Structure 1
Amino acid sequence: MDSAVAREQALDAAERLFYGRGVQSVGMDDVRGASGVSLKRLYQLFPAKEQLVVAYLERRDVRWRQRLAKYVEGHPDPGERLLAVFGWLERWFGEEDFRGCAWINAYGELGATSEPVVTQVRDHKRAFRDYLAGLVAAAGLDAALTGPLFLLAEGAMVTAGINGSTEPAAEAREAARVLLRAG
């Protein structure tokens, strides 16, 4: 099996397992079994589990932000794009395998012990905030709205992950609507 194929298979399995069960409860042998990649090859690709976790989060970040942007760009009005973020969150929260925010989950498990994981989590959250700042600017709104909109979205993610409900996205969207009217 070529290295690129083995890497993708390992990352696919790691994502399913880490996101579904949590990072701490999944061993490299679990990833081996779910991926079909030998343990020797898995350790050649990712010499430490921490490296596999970071690679999983990096890859998930790219896909997550692409899915969000594609959905939001489907709304031609710049003001509506901000509210569309919450519409996308609602759709995401309703997915069958939704288990909260992968980065918040990873931070909760490894934030005290893994600087590379903390860096990846912070990079993801910074990129999301920057994305919202771009939407705020494109709508011609005050940049000061970025922080509250970011906190609404993040709070919705945490609450939805805990409650297993899409309702936090709808509530956050309505709060964002009030903020945008006031701003």
Structure 2
Amino acid sequence: MKHSEVKNRIIETASFLFYKNGYNSTGINEIISEAGIAKATLYNHFKSKEEICLAYLKFKNSSFIQDVEDFTTSKPKGKAQVLAIFDFLELFFRDKDFNGCWCIKTVSEIPKDNEIIRAEIQLQKHSFIDLISKLITNNLENVKEAQVKSLARQIYLLYEGAVGESIYTKKIGQ
């Protein structure tokens, strides 16, 4: 198996486990076992659990941004593309493996002084806001350039609030 294939298998395995069980509840030995690799193989690709976490965050975000962009731009041009963010969100909620926002879950588990992971999460949140800004710019005619960021942040906050609320209501069965 190629070097990149093994690394991708480690990332995919860790991503599944971190998202499902949480960062702190997932151990290196569990990742090794689930990926079907030797410990030395894992450490040939990643120096630490933190490096694996960064790869996990990047993997999840890359897939998410691409999926949102593909979904929204498949809708008719105009307001429909912007509003499609919330249609995408509904599909996200209905996924059998839905377990909330991977960034929020991760940041709640890492030490407050872990600036590397926190910086990656901030970058991901900004990339989502940038995607929303792009959708607004490309689809809404009467929005001035100065208003785009503000509107994008409002949509982002609605999206993030819905994700947070969905976990709460899912846990209490509503």
TM-score by length of 1: 0.85
Q: Which residue of 2 aligns with 1:51?
A: 51
Q: Which residue of 2 aligns with 1:137?
A: 137
Q: Percent identity?
A: 25
For residues 75 and 14 of structure 2, the distance between their equivalents in structure 1, rounded to whole angstroms, comes to 34
Task: Give the superposition deviation at 1:132.
Answer: 0.8
For residues 127 and 167 of structure 2, the distance between their equivalents in structure 1, rounded to whole angstroms, comes to 21
1:17 and 2:17 correspond:
yes
Return the letter of the residue paired with 1:150.
Y
Q: How does 1:17-166 map to 2 (within 5 A)?
A: 17-110=17-110, 112-138=112-138, 139-140=140-141, 141=143, 142-143=147-148, 144-164=150-170
For residues 133 and 45 of structure 1, the distance between their equivalents in structure 2, rounded to whole angstroms, comes to 36
Return the letter of the residue paired with 1:61.
N
Contact 1:54 1:120 in 2 (8 A): yes
* SS of aligned partner of 1:86: helix
For residues 160 and 78 of structure 1, the distance between their equivalents in structure 2, rounded to whole angstroms, comes to 28
TM-score by length of 2: 0.90
For residues 36 and 160 of structure 2, the distance between their equivalents in structure 1, rounded to whole angstroms, comes to 35
For residues 149 and 135 of structure 1, the distance between their equivalents in structure 2, rounded to whole angstroms, comes to 11
Task: Give the superposition deviation at 1:68.
Answer: 0.7
Unaligned runs of 5+ in 2: none
Return the letter of the residue paired with 1:53.
C
Deviates more, 1:129-138 or 1:87-96: 129-138
CA RMSD of aligned residues (A): 1.4
Task: Give the superposition deviation at 1:77.
Answer: 2.2
For residues 84 and 36 of structure 1, the distance between their equivalents in structure 2, rounded to whole angstroms, comes to 39
Distance 1:95 1:111, change over 3 A: farther
For residues 110 and 78 of structure 1, the distance between their equivalents in structure 2, rounded to whole angstroms, comes to 40
For residues 16 and 56 of structure 1, the distance between their equivalents in structure 2, rounded to whole angstroms, comes to 9
Contact 1:18 1:26 in 2 (8 A): yes
Moved over 4 A (4+): none
For residues 23 and 99 of structure 1, the distance between their equivalents in structure 2, rounded to whole angstroms, comes to 13
Task: Give the superposition deviation at 1:59.
Answer: 1.2
